[in-house]
Amino acid sequence: MSIEQIRFHFGFSKMPFGKDLAPSTLHRHHGHQEALARISFLVAEQAIGVLTGEVGSGKTVAARAAMAQLEPSRHSVIYLSNPAIGARGIYAEIVARLGGEPRFFKSALIAQAGDLLAKEVAERGRRVVVIVDESHLLDAGQLEELRLLTNAEMDSASPFALLLLGQPSLRARLRLGSFAALDQRVTLRYALPPMSAKETSSYVSHHLALCGRSDTLFSDDALSSIHQAGRGLPRAVNNLARQALVAAYANRSAIVDEKAARQAITEMDAE
Ligand SMILES: Nc1ncnc2c1ncn2[C@@H]1O[C@H](COP(=O)(O)OP(=O)(O)O)[C@@H](O)[C@H]1O
Ligand SMILES: [Mg+2]
């Protein structure tokens, strides 16, 4: 059994539930839209914000979609995945992303990052947005670096937005006494909720329509099983829906019924 055979069996133009969707083709469920609106506000206000959500809830997708809406000539987006920060430190990454050669000593490096950020604004007329993904993994030293960075920049005139993305534990971590100074500067917090059952159905239909199937392909009970097992989380729903298509194909069924959905759930549980 190959992807090609499954694609052909269901008449898809490409295999649905892939992860590389263009921002304009994303599904606009409530949580996604709310996250987008808040991130846009954060950028406009040059504020510090924390977006939390379960693994696969759509945090990175929402942040990327919000960045795609920004006028590119007027914004500099510095997206830091956690491994990147781990290797060189937040300041060195920011300096490198703004085209500088990171200085060796911490004090010099901090000043250098501040200068480059200020120049980005003053000389290029760009707003800077720093996004730190997987922020729940930041260690105490990295959080302290962020605090220093925001202190140095936020008190001056330099516009600079900071968005921390992370799993729900990030909120509690920031509330710990040692990070209170950073936590107090956070003006925007949003916990990205999972999709409702209705949203999961429309999410699945949306992905199918993008691949050329606008008619009913998943039965209602299959959708409700997938919603429950995937807890309304987009990544889990994608995986279950894809697996359910495979099961339906193996059953030689024209639609994804409850049986195929159950098989998918059992298989995903076994992984
Ligand atoms: N609004 C959306 N529309 C379509 N697909 C989405 C949407 N949000 C999330 N996804 C899908 O779910 C997957 C997980 O989202 P992601 O942002 O990586 O989760 P997180 O960063 O919270 O772990 C993405 O790869 C994408 O395929
Ligand atoms: Mg992510």
Kindly report, residue by residue over 113-152, the tens digit of the pLDDT: 888 988 998 888 899 999 999 999 988 888 888 888 777 5
Angle among Cα 106, 122, 154 to the nearest 5 degrees reads 55
Residue 156 has pLDDT above 80, yes or no: no
Q: Work out the average pLDDT over 174-178.
A: 84
CB atoms within 10 A of CB 65: 21
Q: How many CA atoms lie within 13 A of 38 on its CB side?
A: 25
Task: Measure the CA–CA gap between 39 and 188, rounded to whole angstroms.
Answer: 9
What 3-state class would DSSP assign to 221? helix
* Per-residue pLDDT at 160: 82
Using an 8 Å Cβ cutoff, are 247 and 263 in contact? yes
Domain coordinates of the chain in residue numbers? Answer: 3-17+195-270, 30-191
The pLDDT score that the predictor gives to residue 107 is 84
From 19, 25, 50, 61, the mutation candidate for ligand 1 (largest count of ligand atoms within 8 A of CB) is: 61
Residue bearing the CA closest to ligand 1, atom 17: 58
Which residues line the pocket of ligand 1, CB cutoff 6 A?
Answer: 19, 21, 26-27, 32, 53, 55-61, 234-235, 238
- Cα(148)–Cα(90) distance, integer angstroms: 11
Tens digits of per-residue pLDDT, 87-115? 678 889 899 999 999 998 888 888 898 88
Neighbours of ion ligand 2 (CB under 5 A): 60
Q: Which CATH number fits domain 3-17+195-270: 1.10.8.60, 3.40.50.970, 1.20.120.140, 3.10.450.50?
A: 1.10.8.60
Instruction: State the Cα–Cα distance between residues 54 and 6, nearest whole angstrom.
Output: 30
Closest ligand by atom to 27 CA: 1
Closest residue by Cα to atom 15, ligand 1, is: 58
- Structure-model confidence comparison of residues 58 and 145, the more confident one: 58
Give residue 185's pLDDT: 87
C-alpha of residue 248 to centroid of ligand 2, in Å: 30
Contact 173, 179 (CB under 8 A): yes
The alpha carbon of 82 and the centre of ligand 2 are apart by a number of angstroms equal to 10
Quick check: do 3-17+195-270 and 30-191 share a fold? Answer: no
Provide the pLDDT for residue 158: 46
- CATH classification (class only), 30-191: alpha beta
